[in-house]
Amino acid sequence: MSANTRQHKDAPLLEVKNLETAFSIDGTYYNAVDNVSFRVKPRQIVGIVGESGCGKSVMSLSVMKLLPKGIGKIRNGEIIFDGVHLENMTDSEINKIRGKDIAMIFQEPMTSLNPVFSIGFQLQEVLFNHMKISKKEARLKSIALLKSVGISRPEKIVDEYPHQLSGGMRQRVMIAIAIACQPKLLIADEPTTALDVTVQAQILELLKEIQEVNDMSVILITHDLGVVAEMCDEVIVMYAGKIAERTDVDSLFHNPKHPYTQLLMGAIPKMDEEVEKLSTIKGIVPSLKNMPKTGCKFAARCPKAMQECLTVTPQLAENEEGHEVACLLYETSQQKQEVNA
Amino acid sequence: MSTEHNNTAVLKKDKSSNEVLLEVKNLKTYYPIKGGILRRTVAVVKAVDDVSFEIKKGETLGLVGESGCGKSTAGRTILRLLEPTEGQIIFDGQDITNVRGTSLRKIRQDFQMVFQDPYASLNPTMMVGHLVSEPIRNYNSKSEKELKPEVMDLLAKVGLPEDAYYKYPHEFSGGQRQRIGIARALALRPKLIIADEPVSALDVSVQSQVLNLLKELQDEFDLTFLFIAHDLSVVKHMSDRIGVMYLGGLVEVAEKDSLYAEPLHPYTQALISAIPEPDPRKKKERIILEGDVPSPIDPPKGCTFHPRCAHAMPECQSVKPQLKEVKPGHRVACHLYK
């Protein structure tokens, strides 16, 4: 059905072009997401990685149009979902898409469920919002949904309250709510960060299964490179509000190009390798207010920084087929000379 | 490169002598649950239930397990921040299970703790200089003038700038705050440091800085670590030996290489297989456990892991397996190994 709106098979489901999202600090707006463009194809799992404060969550909130009112705003750029522009939509227009075609799950399954309503009520709320459905049908459907996310005794759980469930179960309920209307795109913001490894393994398995069954696209935001390697087709590495590198998952892990990506890979202790010292990245991500105005934002922490990195802003460009990187090390010498001249 | 590697390994072995610094015997810590008008104890949470292990001088023992398995409670009980319900804690040859008052205060100089949350564990109204010198002032009457060089030295050791002395915790990032916490723990030159999830609140790049620092300091100050964490790859990087906890009990203890190469307990096997590997080319067989960790108020009879275990046998439901040495240095509590 959705094929009508999509002209080609390969047409992206979501296209973000030159997105700039800014936050107001003491009356001045600072860009938290700075000129970011990417695409998500149908049925693709795209991972977004980076340290805290690099803009991964802000980007997903921009796509969902969930930025805090009066503080954050989309300054520039386009967000095209399934052929429709989202960036200038009113609240009532976006409400028809949000929760139905684009759904989101959050990190904290403890705080993202309302403690005073039963699980069934919170599931049915989504169904009533987006479907014409009777109370009885909604109840049956929510039981079926709970069953589909692997909850045993769904007939009982449907009448229970969030505090009666464990962390893993709550995240399963969140997933059930998110997939209630069979969305085309699921944004998962650190969905397993608060969970134990064995439960994380269960939830990742479930997400993969649902993605295949429902033909969904998924944007998976995480800081865990292990999760990325297990789950994603394509990966975007973000640093300080910009995309540092974008490529398929295999070349990210076996041929990382950006110095930031390389350092991130060396910083994680690996199970099958023994190293005395892990690689580190000196310093921290600069805060929004202290962001360098010119040049590469990673230059101050980069071991390979050159003089021109402080003045020339690198552009995201294709270095190998399907492998984009924003680093002066990979820009052709001709361009460099031009800049110097 | 590899010879260098071997050398350090040999050095380490030499350093962790056979002298035992800490010995924990049949430790039990129960939390009472009070209910009713009379606030009588209606049930107990068996947070740590019959745990025994020892740590040698200069060694790092890692303690892993999922949330609620009792690893933090075990750490806190050893420091006597919690009262043990039963069992013995022997530190440096002295039984400290029932030591009280001034003698406990005296012993406490020798063991310190590094906490998980660097945001919550530092008093926001105290200057970093005072935070770091507080443990020293607690035990010695020294003037600030005398203390300052000592504190400066500590700050330098953990890689903080000199002007950190006059700053407040909010002026630092998470990684730097954790360094302050480490400087504070080092202030009294302790013998044992219990690090309870010291890096789980940090980003990977900062995490690696703190892990490297802890290793350097261990060599420099001859420290013995009890390293508590839920991240198995971090624990493996840090530890010499590793203990795996499940529902209040220790299910397996072994040298780290032996534990990772050949995990014996079905829970350890599942735990290791559940770690997402940062390499898309490696597709490994996952053992996915069913369900959640049961409540420690009413743990399953027999082996606490049997309801989730793929190898459970009839006797697992009734007989609690004891921790037994099945290979040199490799102990496991499971009926599969006799």
Per DSSP, the residues of B187-226 read TT--SEEEEESTTTTS-HHHHHHHHHHHHHHHHHHT-EEE
> Looking at the complex, does the CB of residue B237 fall below 8 Å from at least one CB of chain A?
yes
| Contact (CB<8Å) B270/A225 | no
Q: CA-to-CA distance for B161 and B247, rounded, in angstroms?
A: 43
Which of chain A's residues have a Cβ under 8 Å away from the Cβ of B60? none
Longest dimension (CA), chain A: 73
**CB contact set of B84 (below 8 Å; sequence gap of 6+):** B27, B28, B29, B77, B97
Which of A166, A271, A279 is opposite residue B208, by nearest beta carbon?
A: A279
Domains defined for chain A, CATH in brackets: 2-101+181-340 (3.40.50.300), 110-180 (no CATH)
| Contact (CB<8Å) A226/B286 | no
Q: Are B28 and B48 in contact (CB under 8 A)?
A: yes
Model-level ipTM above the cut of 0.90: no
CATH classification (class only), B2-332: alpha beta
CA distance, residue B189 to nearest chain A CA (Å): 24
Q: Are A253 and A268 in contact (CB under 8 A)?
A: no
Q: CA-to-CA distance for A247 and A234, rounded, in angstroms?
A: 6
| Contact (CB<8Å) A198/B289 | yes
pLDDT, block means (10 residues), chain B with 338 residues: 45 61 95 87 90 95 90 93 94 92 91 88 93 92 89 93 92 90 94 93 88 94 94 92 94 94 94 88 81 84 92 93 93 93
Strand ranges of the sheet holding B20-35, from the earlier edge strand across to the other edge: B40-56, B20-35, B86-91, B94-95
Which of chain B's residues have a Cβ under 8 Å away from the Cβ of A280? 205, 208-209, 212
Identify the band that residue A212 occupies on the pLDDT scale cut at 50, 70 and 90.
very high
CA distance, residue A283 to nearest chain B CA (Å): 8
- In the numeric block, which tokens belong to residue B285? 């067989």
Q: CA-to-CA distance for B260 and A305, rounded, in angstroms?
A: 38
CA distance, residue A119 to nearest chain B CA (Å): 19
Closest to B63 (Cα-Cα) out of B279, B320, B252, B191? B252
Q: What is the pLDDT of residue A256?
A: 95
Model confidence pLDDT, tens digit, residues A226-248:
999 999 999 999 999 999 999 99
Residue B105 or A9, more confident: B105
> Looking at the complex, does the CB of residue B284 fall below 8 Å from at least one CB of chain A?
no
Q: What is the pLDDT of residue B17?
A: 64
Q: What is the pLDDT of residue A279?
A: 87
Which of chain A's residues have a Cβ under 8 Å away from the Cβ of B273? 201
> Looking at the complex, does the CB of residue B288 fall below 8 Å from at least one CB of chain A?
yes
| Contact (CB<8Å) B278/A225 | yes
CA distance, residue A330 to nearest chain B CA (Å): 23
- In the numeric block, which tokens belong to residue B176? 């730097």
Chain centroid, CA B34 distance in Å? 29
CA distance, residue A159 to nearest chain B CA (Å): 20
- In the numeric block, which tokens belong to residue A114? 């309302």
Closest to B218 (Cα-Cα) out of B58, B87, B333, B84? B58
Residue ranges in A186-243 assigned as alpha helix (H) = 197-214, 225-231
Angle formed by the axes of helices B204-221 and A259-267, to 10°? 50
Whole-model pTM: value is 0.85
| Contact (CB<8Å) B279/A253 | yes
